[in-house]
Amino acid sequence: MADSTTTQAQSPKPRRVAQIVYLRPECIDEYRKCHAAVWPAVLEQIRDSNIVDYSINLITKPRLTLYATFKYVGSDWDADMARMAANETVQEWWRMTDKMQESPNEGAKGSLAGNTGDGAGWWAGGEEVFYFEG
């Protein structure tokens, strides 16, 4: 039995990610419908890729914008994102939802081409300029 002074391995500090992508006006209802019933295999892959506390919000003005936030709690971002991108069900989900979106990143080809969370992919990443944990 370990005593109370035994040092446990510390979890890495969560990486907080914020992203945006534009929503096509004709796709609002369809986007809401598919996200009201996200495929279980997609949710499982998100969890297995060490993503928690994930939400997507719709901002309606001045332009329909999807604002997503999540925390990455793993220790190997590149490997976890590669595993997600390799998942065939996730690829099918991205193909479906990408058709409803427009990337703010010039030249972006879709989620399958890169969803890095740093502004280089389909969704545009943002810089955290303020955080208060309370």
Neighbouring residues of 106: CB distance < 8 A, sequence distance ≥ 6 = none
Q: Is the peptide bond before 62 cis (omega within 30 degrees of 0)?
A: yes
d(CA 17, CA 108): 19
**Active-site position among 16, 24, 33, 35:** 35
Which residues lie across from 51 on neighbouring strands? 72
- Residue 101 and residue 25: Cα distance in Å, rounded? 9
Local structure of 45: helix, strand or coil:
helix
Residue 120's Cβ-side half-sphere holds a number of Cα atoms within 13 Å equal to 4
Q: Is 42 part of the annotated catalytic residue set?
A: no
User: Which sequence positions are flagged as catalytic?
Assistant: 35
